[in-house]
Amino acid sequence: MADPAHRPGLVPGYNVPAAIGMSIDEVFTPALIVDLDAFERNVRTMAAFVREAGVRLRAHAKTHKSADIARYQIAQGGACGICCQKTSEAEALVEAGITDILVSNEVTDPKTIDRLARLCARARIVVCVDDAANVDALSAAAARHGAMLECLVEIDVGAGRCGVRPGDDAVRLAERIAAAPHLTFSGLQAYHGSAQHLRAFAERRGAIEAAVAMTRDTVARLDARGLSCAIVGGAGTGTFQFEGTSGVYNELQCGSYVFMDADYGRIRDESGAPIGTFENSLFILTSVMSHAKPDMAVCDAGLKVQSVDSGLPVVFGRSDVTYLKCSDEHGVITDPTGALRISDRLRLVPGHCDPTCNVHDWFVGVRGGRVECLWPVTARGRAF
Amino acid sequence: MADPAHRPGLVPGYNVPAAIGMSIDEVFTPALIVDLDAFERNVRTMAAFVREAGVRLRAHAKTHKSADIARYQIAQGGACGICCQKTSEAEALVEAGITDILVSNEVTDPKTIDRLARLCARARIVVCVDDAANVDALSAAAARHGAMLECLVEIDVGAGRCGVRPGDDAVRLAERIAAAPHLTFSGLQAYHGSAQHLRAFAERRGAIEAAVAMTRDTVARLDARGLSCAIVGGAGTGTFQFEGTSGVYNELQCGSYVFMDADYGRIRDESGAPIGTFENSLFILTSVMSHAKPDMAVCDAGLKVQSVDSGLPVVFGRSDVTYLKCSDEHGVITDPTGALRISDRLRLVPGHCDPTCNVHDWFVGVRGGRVECLWPVTARGRAF
């Protein structure tokens, strides 16, 4: 994998948490570290699944925003391309050499639509649509740039967010796309985001069964109008087995599988056990920086290095200490047995991987206790 | 104020949300905007308070991480210097010309201690201590760099985080500092973080009365040993009136007052009304990007552009629509009257300003509907 970290101007402890070759014990904390062995196993596990299921994987880069990881998912992980959520993310990934990108989201700002259309000269670009006027705006922008822009109709299959209703509303929008100059109707976006984190297996399966039924029906109505879906996309790390074996979805958009997080650690398989398909490979490396009370330590990882929207982080591999509360720059750790000392290091499994990666500038890739690579969070700050 | 945004390589909509002179309606969303008039009024209000109270303001840069704002607080806002939380933040601020910095936190990593001591050649540096072994490590590092490093003993006055117990524990640590070569004992850090957001006026006042009593007693014990406190520091935006008029604290460390946020909007004054001392000057500018259901809009500001640790953002100046839920890149907005259209713009007051600033690369300063300045979030990503 490319290592862009050998650049002048990078100073470990100032603007990057580590240097290649360092022992993990020397990494400046707090830092976002990737256990490369676990990461690679996760990538292989997903690649094997999609190969066996006979579906494509379009790995979601909103998890990591990293060109290095995106390239690895395509080169080694069975991915046909990448999803991202924003035009500026797509630009950053195209800049880094990714050539097949689905913006799995609506793009409605006129200036941003123009940027998206311009990008078609450099990569295959697909975008989602849930509004008729947006179809016209996309078509006009593609015409200005002499581009053909591929569009998916986004249908709301239960997430309660973007997307038109499945069925005839979707067909009407697809027909408008198909009739628009410089646009190609390429299929459906049918992602059920809120199903990913439902705790119980049966709940997740039920939600996706309903999504599959709506999607199947919509595909059939489109077929009846002569509109075939090259892409029927959706699925995430919590439910991909269901979409992947549905016979309806043909592109899976999983992202978190490369890293996992504490919230995914709380979802259950059919037997009621934690899902064992993927391993935690993403950690916040943190140091104890204060231990002025006997049963309480304070670590250097607070809100500035993680998102706690899905709960607090979990201390990895330790049952004797617990991350209790979080402020801007501190985490309070209960230490009832007084096991911790100042400068002791802990690995935290973040509550939610995607927004946690989003606050870091670097992934520190670690193998065998050494820093093997530094991957910039390429599209960090690209929110437009 | 300096405007570093006229640099080659900055492309609005790609790596910066705006250009100087743009109408606010042209700013790429989501973006972090600062209402400069409100911001400047907030700065003046605090400057007037500390002038009248006869105390110093050491404004906390952990809120904004911006060299431009720090310089403004010193030049125009009555600040004697700046606080920050991390050594790498201090380095970034010294690099930008700030010359009087308190790292209002413990620094315990040996390599980071070395960086801190090295910084003393370029600025006045003060750091907090709550551990005896840390005193020795700081002293050794200062000696290596031929520096004199100023230290405050941090006492826990109710926050339940870092800090030794007030009283004799603090005196013992102060004596160790005073006796250590290349260290100066400069006083006490007595910040009550958790008191800032207590809703009721009486609760906040009570918490700070207790903190003041502990601090006064510790100052007296130190005086009795011939150890005088040049700095007795603490206070935040929720409680500064109490510390500022206590006769004990002489340096206030308020940060959020420049911006305010939705959580500070929930604290109450003596009459039970929202505190009116400062105005909201910080907003997430967001656009409606989907409105496929009649009573629900989706905006482009999700978890990637804010921290929801202290609750969801509040839509500014609108009682007809409500920010209901948040996912990585989306905010769901209830729109019961169907008032919103795609591309409509809303201003969101973030739940918690400090970690929200931390996910952005730029502040877009706006006055009279125009972009007047672009301030980089100078120390973004400096977490070490």
Q: Say what the pLDDT of residue A94 is.
A: 97
Tokens of A94: 């195209």
Output the CA angle A320-B155-B120, nearest 5 degrees. Answer: 100
Q: Say what the pLDDT of residue A5 is.
A: 47
Q: Sort out which chain B residues have CB atoms less than 8 A from A162's CB and list them.
A: 289-290, 292, 298, 330
Closest Cα in chain A, distance from residue B53 (Å): 28
3-class state of residue B142 by DSSP: helix
Residues 296-325 of B with CB under 8 A from A: 296, 298, 300, 303-305, 307-309
Closest by Cα among A18, A15, A50 to A34: A18
Task: Report the pLDDT averaged over residues A331-359.
Answer: 98
Interface check B142 vs A, CB under 8 A? no
Please give the residue that has the higher pLDDT: either A7 or B99.
B99
Q: Say what the pLDDT of residue B2 is.
A: 42
3-class state of residue B57 by DSSP: strand
Task: Report the pLDDT averaged over residues A224-253.
Answer: 98
The 10 Å Cβ neighbour count of residue A23 is 11
The owner of tokens 């925003």 is A65
CB contact under 8 A, B289 and A162: yes
Residues 182-221 of B with CB under 8 A from A: 193
CA dihedral A73, A74, A80, A81 (to 10 degrees): 80
**CA dist., res. A318 & res. A123, Å (int):** 46
3-state helix vs strand vs coil in chain B, percent to 5: 30, 25, 40
**CA dist., res. B318 & res. B346, Å (int):** 9
Q: Say what the pLDDT of residue B7 is.
A: 61
Q: Say what the pLDDT of residue A7 is.
A: 60
Tokens of B190: 């007595």
Mutating which of A25, A89, A169, A309 best tests the B interface, going by the most B Cβ atoms within 10 A? Answer: A309
CB contact under 8 A, A291 and B156: no
Interface check B133 vs A, CB under 8 A? yes
Q: Say what the pLDDT of residue A328 is.
A: 97
Residue A376, preceding peptide bond in cis (omega within 30° of 0): no
> Range with the lowest mean pLDDT among A1-15, A99-113, A248-262, B284-298?
A1-15
Q: Sort out which chain B residues have CB atoms less than 8 A from A300's CB and list them.
A: 383
Q: Phi-psi bin for B127: left (phi > 0), alpha (psi -120 to 50), beta?
A: beta
**CA dist., res. B356 & res. A64, Å (int):** 19
Residues 4-63 of B with CB under 8 A from A: 13-15, 17, 26, 28-31, 62
Question: Measured on CA atoms in the order A40, A46, A47, A52, is the torsion positive or negative?
Answer: positive
Residues of chain B with pLDDT below 50 are 1-5
DSSP assignment string, A18-78: --TT-BGGGS-SSEEEEEHHHHHHHHHHHHHHHHHHT-EEEEETTTT--HHHHHHHHHHS-
The amino acid sitting at B349 is V
Question: Number of C-alpha atoms within 13 angstroms, CB side, residue A316?
Answer: 21
CA–CA distance from B200 to each of A327, B65, B207, B238 (Å)?
A: 21, 29, 11, 10
The predicted-structure confidence for A47-96, as pLDDT tens digits, reads as follows 999 999 999 999 999 999 999 999 999 999 999 999 999 999 999 999 99
Q: Say what the pLDDT of residue B276 is.
A: 87
CB contact under 8 A, B86 and A193: no
Residue B110, preceding peptide bond in cis (omega within 30° of 0): no
Task: Report the pLDDT averaged over residues A117-139.
Answer: 98
Closest chain B residue to A331 measured between Cα atoms?
A: B161
Q: Say what the pLDDT of residue A9 is.
A: 87
Q: Say what the pLDDT of residue A183 is.
A: 98
Closest chain A residue to B95 measured between Cα atoms?
A: A14
CB contact under 8 A, B109 and A28: yes
**CA dist., res. A59 & res. B271, Å (int):** 54
Phi, psi angle pair for B20, to nearest 5°:
-60, 135
Q: Say what the pLDDT of residue B6 is.
A: 54
Phi, psi angle pair for B143, to nearest 5°:
-60, -45
Interface check B85 vs A, CB under 8 A? yes
CB contact under 8 A, A328 and B62: yes
Q: Say what the pLDDT of residue B109 is.
A: 97
CB-nearest to B193 from A112, A327, A383 is A327
Closest by Cα among A103, A110, A183 to A147: A183
CA B76 and chain centroid, separation: 17
Interface check B354 vs A, CB under 8 A? yes
Q: Say what the pLDDT of residue A276 is.
A: 87
Report chain A's mean pLDDT, rounded to a whole number.
Answer: 96
